[in-house]
Amino acid sequence: MSEINLTLPDGSVRVLQKGSSGYDLALDIGPGLAKASIAVTVNDVQKDINDPIDEDSRVSIITIDSEEGLEIMRHTLTAQVLARAVKNLYPKAKLAIGPTIKDGFYYDFDIEQTISIDDLPKIENEMNSIIKKGSKITKRYFSKSEALKVFKSLDESYKGEIINDSDQEENFQLYYQDNDEFVDLCRGPHLTDLNKIGAFKLTKVSGAYWRGSSDNKMLTRIYGTAWKDDKDLKKYLNQIEEAEKRDHRKIGKELELFHFQDEAPGMVFWHEKGWTIYKTLQNYMRNKLELNDYKEINTPQVVDRKLWEASGHWDKYRENMYITEIDEEHANEKRTNALKPMNCPCHVQVYNQGLKSYKDLPIRYAEFGSCHRYEASGTLHGLMRVRGFTQDDGHIFCTEDQIKDEAANFIKLLSEIYNQLGFEKFDIKLSTRPETRVGSDEVWDRAESSLQNAIESIGIDYEVMPGDGAFYGPKLDFVLTDAIGREWQCGTFQADFNLPDRLSAEYVDNDGNKQMPVMIHRAILGSFERFIGILIENYAGKLPFWLAPKQVAITTITSDSNEYAAKIMQDLQSKGIRCVLDIRNEKISYKIREHSTAKIPYIVTVGNKEMENSTISLRKLGSNETSLHKLNDFIQEVELLAAAPK
């Protein structure tokens, strides 16, 4: 039998017999790896650990300790355990699809009975019984006609439909358990046996139309999460529990920050306190941008379709745009306009006013640009996914040689802002050229190199995402981590070699020739709405003093100190402090509890003793201790705290 060369990720080469499997390779490396192996990647394609390898290949062994291994374990759990458990409990149930998702899995079933969350423990118990048997999982290949026969005999019509709709005629993979007691159609790979499944929990039940179409039957979708062990599962469930407590929609309602209603789906009704957060954050960002030489502009909300056609958005994004038709006065025509879904074409129009020289570049435009995008109603989610939003948008017009410096300056600014807003950790992802793109390889080489050099020049780690760039250029995405470990992609820095050309943006170079500038799309927060939602959840509603909508509550013990309390409020407001004066005839404990629930950072209490000594008693949010302060010292302290970070 001939030999094959298998190249490992570290560059070393193992020589094995043709037809050897991933397991054979793992065993050749060591028995420990063989025991831990669950699948293999061959030339970037995941395969079952026992699949034969017939040619020289790049290979890597997948273990449960990797992200790929965890996903394979989850896939096995849903397709081979959850599906079988439901069939055991509800024999007439029909199997639809069962993919993995972030942190877990789901499976869709056609079940006559109504399944609720109360039924999940019963299904979990059945799943555990199946896992305890430690069944082996085997794979067989079938032709299209053979696979159809298998599932027709099982009365599994959804599997039959999937097979019928497939373009392939051979090599349908069917995975079996326990002498053919259970079978499912699956792309794989799977674990070789159920003993390697870690810890799991079913989480919820919902309805889902077959293939996502409301014209089809509503199926029952069962969700679950799965992890390597009980420790990781418990950690995840605790995070979910904490996330529910921090839900910005719940906190927003409790603190009277904003609301939504059916008459304007996906649009935010900001209340006074929520709008205070919005304005404070916007003013903070405006100051940062001014200090970094951005020119703030403002562009129209409604723009003729001709500009969207010229920019390419009309063809590629029209279904997400709000369209309006207007009968033009003094003309027998209808003008088709769109509410802008993004600001970039309008920024090019500002740039195009007047001839630009290379000496003028870079030009940095910033706009708190209000945008509207039609998002499907099922995707709307509080402030996190809306139809009307405002971006901290910006576009930089520069030469190719200036990309590196602009990227480095942007990353430094973004780092400073994230840190000041309480996010100490963020990751950078460099997305490189996709298969379908505009521009020459030479231009892409320079652009990608510029972004990569910019990251490396300031010593920040990054991850390369091959092929994930925009069609017009490479990009950097910035993913911050919040207080409970969740990741949020917010900032972006995208080099565009396409739009300036489409919209005739030019500058005159040193030789007097007209050249096309590079247009950099950049944002730090993303949308204000979404970022405020992230802030609320990160701080569980207990915002930093400078961002809090109400910063100090002044409460009185008796009515004798009402005038003193009013004077304190007047003094604080003169320093720009946002205050609440509470002189109600209520017990002081009740007042303190109410203002604590409202998450006001500082609660000041005054009575006759404080009035006589020009002092205040102070309780900080989250503490049960009270401290005594001289009034003037306290005012100086909060004045410093109220200032936005520089």
Catalytic annotation, residues? 344, 373, 391, 393, 395, 475, 521
Secondary structure letter of residue 77 according to DSSP: I
Quote the CA–CA distance of 246 and 244 in Å, as a whole number. 5
Distances, alpha carbon 232 to alpha carbons 72, 198, 200, 201, 278, in Å: 16, 10, 10, 12, 37
Residue 464: Cβ-neighbour burial (10 angstroms; 0-12, 13-18, 19+): exposed
Sort residue 212 into left (φ over 0), alpha (ψ -120 to 50) or beta. left
Side-chain-side CA neighbours of 347 within 13 Å: the count stands at: 25
Nearest to 395 by CA among 376, 419, 375, 369: 369
Answer for the pair 185, 162: CB distance below 8 angstroms, yes or no.
yes
| Cα angle 29-30-35, degrees, rounded to a multiple of 5 | 120
Residue whose pair of structure tokens reads 């936005």 in the numeric block: 644
First to last CA, the chain: 71
Residue 311: Cβ-neighbour burial (10 angstroms; 0-12, 13-18, 19+): buried
Residue 25: Cβ-neighbour burial (10 angstroms; 0-12, 13-18, 19+): buried
